[in-house]
Amino acid sequence: MKPQILTAQHSPTERRNSARVLLLIAALAIGAITLTSGCRITEEDVHLWGRKSMGPTKLVAVLQHDKYPRNLRVESALTLTTMPPRGGRAVGMLGTDDYPGLFQALSEMTAGERAPIVDELAPHLIEGMGQAPSADQPDPSFKYKDAAYGMLTHTEGSLVSNATTTEALNQALVGWANTDFEARMDNTSQVFGMEQVLRYLKTEGVRPLPSRITPESHKLAELTRLIDELGDEKTKVEASQQLVKVAEYVDSDAWVKQKSPSVQAANKASGIEATEKQFAQQLAAYQEEEQRRVFAAMKNVGQKPAVNYLIAYAQNTKHAPKARAAALAALEGHLSRNDSTQAKAILDLLSNDDTPDIMRDLAANRVGEFAREEVAARLFELFKNPNWRVRATAAQLLLKTSSKTNIDEFMKELGRVRSMALSEPLAYGPLLKEVDQAQPAELSSQYSKPTYPVGVRLTALGYYFSEGDKDDQAQLSPYLSDRTKVPSCPKDDQQCSWTCNLVEEGKAVARKVSTVGEFIRFCILPPLLSRAPEESEETEENKPKNAEAPAPVKK
């Protein structure tokens, strides 16, 4: 009677019982072969089974039964490790529903009989992991690495009980992961990927990785991400130093000279006949793209070497504005909150009239990462800048880092401003809700009083531009008759206009704002009255079209 081969339609228990029956039959069959032939099972038999359909079952039977010599049991385990996959599955190691693989077979053995087999198997796996990759053949080390990793992690690492064996396998995995890193990381044929191995090894696994950071590396993002997540401080600093070397090389004439032939070859292959100027532009674009790739890797690990390089690059006006902006973006999260030198460098970029707009917003974001005491004085100085957009950025940064105790100082400095754009109070007012330890409605009520300068009052009243609802109309009604003049636009600023666009009787109407009362009537009440009491956020529908506030600045 043939044993029944159970399928996925049967329960796991039925399949496990069937697998045990198969193993018993295999063991009996092996014993029968030995008795009838008068010959002992040899390593040649074991290797032959690795290519047979029932081979894994026989190999597991030999591995698990102590009647076989240990060297034969170890050879069976090694054959399960190296046997070819079936249907894309490494059945020798992982098994199937019908029979166990290497890991399951080892876990079913007692610790006492498993330990010597694992200890003798380990040197074979270490030797296999040390095989050098070949350009014309599949990497032979994958199977040995998969077996080592699987034994170290299966059932929470209980398969390898000898500390010396564990350490030897771990060190072999470290060496494997740091050999031909890029090709081994990309290979999809392995059971366990490079990232799984490194996450198991943790700090030890990524400690050698900074040496893989070179101008030729195509895996800078992956390398630096793993180093950032798993590495210790020393490893991260080494990676940062290596990235600076790569960035300096990419920014050099040597890099241009090296890459010129490949760009020429690409043009020829595409049938492009570039002029000398066009070719130079191609190289410049390529160089900038490579530099951005390095910057992205720097953003992963940060650390002082990379931070210093990125700041210096952003300051250097010989570089294209987009590349300088990329350097500023890469600094995100890596500036030291209380570093006065770093703060001054970023504030200089923010306040310099020659700083391109594409960089100014990023510089503002970076300023927001410093402690308030490091930047407040310089930001208040920017209130005097003739470019109201610079002042607006500084004011927003200050409000986002203010507490209740800072508001008097803010309003005092704002009160000294004589020229102002409509967008300013509409941007500053809603930010009162972000003031720490304060009630924004109370601040609005306090600073909207006639005793304060008009710019301060407009800012306080501007809170309701995107906050509050119909219930707050009574709070604003007393100001409808206020004839205090609003500030004038900065001289020669053609984009500044104190005008709010409304919809009256289905038609768009531009209403000029010249007094505080008109500011309330034409700019504040329309969006406020359009919000139901539960709403508090500004929407596109209730926002006056020309009253565009400056882009928000992150903290």
CATH number at residue 390: 1.25.10.10
Helices (H), 402-542: 407-415, 423-428, 440-447, 454-461, 473-476, 516-518, 525-529
Domain count for the chain, please give it: 2
Predicted pLDDT at 545 = 45
Phi, psi angle pair for 467, to nearest 5° = -120, 165
- Which residues constitute the domain of residue 154? 12-211
Predicted pLDDT at 353 = 87
Q: Whose structure tokens read 């300023």?
A: 367
Predicted pLDDT at 18 = 52
387 and 326 part of one domain: yes
Phi, psi angle pair for 479, to nearest 5° = -90, -5
Q: What is the pTM of this model?
A: 0.81
Cβ–Cβ < 8 Å for 108, 116? no
CA distance 315 to 154: 52
Cβ-based burial of 31 (10 A; exposed 0-12, middle 13-18, buried ≥19): middle
254 and 188 part of one domain: no
Rounded to 5 degrees, what angle do the CA atoms 223, 227, 229 make? Answer: 120
Q: For 94-149, what is each residue's pLDDT tens digit?
A: 999 888 999 999 999 999 999 999 999 999 999 999 998 777 788 899 999 999 99
Mean per-residue pLDDT over the chain, rounded: 88
Cβ–Cβ < 8 Å for 110, 95? no
pLDDT exceeds 70 at position 13? no
Mean pLDDT for 201-213 is 95
Cβ–Cβ < 8 Å for 347, 375? yes
Give the burial string for 120-135 (b: 16+ CB within 10 Å, else e). bbbebbbebbeeeeee
Q: For 89-98, what is each residue's pLDDT tens digit?
A: 999 999 998 8
156 and 255 part of one domain: no
Residue type, 353: D
170 and 268 part of one domain: no
Predicted pLDDT at 6 = 46
164 and 243 part of one domain: no
Cβ-based burial of 208 (10 A; exposed 0-12, middle 13-18, buried ≥19): middle
Q: Which of 211, 231, 251 is a domain's end point?
A: 211
Helix (H, G, I), strand (E, B) or coil at 504: strand
pLDDT exceeds 70 at position 380? yes
Confidence of residue 60 (pLDDT cuts 50, 70, 90): very high
170 and 311 part of one domain: no
97 and 189 part of one domain: yes
Give the max Cα distance, the chain.
116
For residue 70, give both structure tokens.
Answer: 């240990």
85 and 199 part of one domain: yes
Length of the chain (residues)? 555
Mean pLDDT for 50-55 is 85
25 and 43 part of one domain: yes
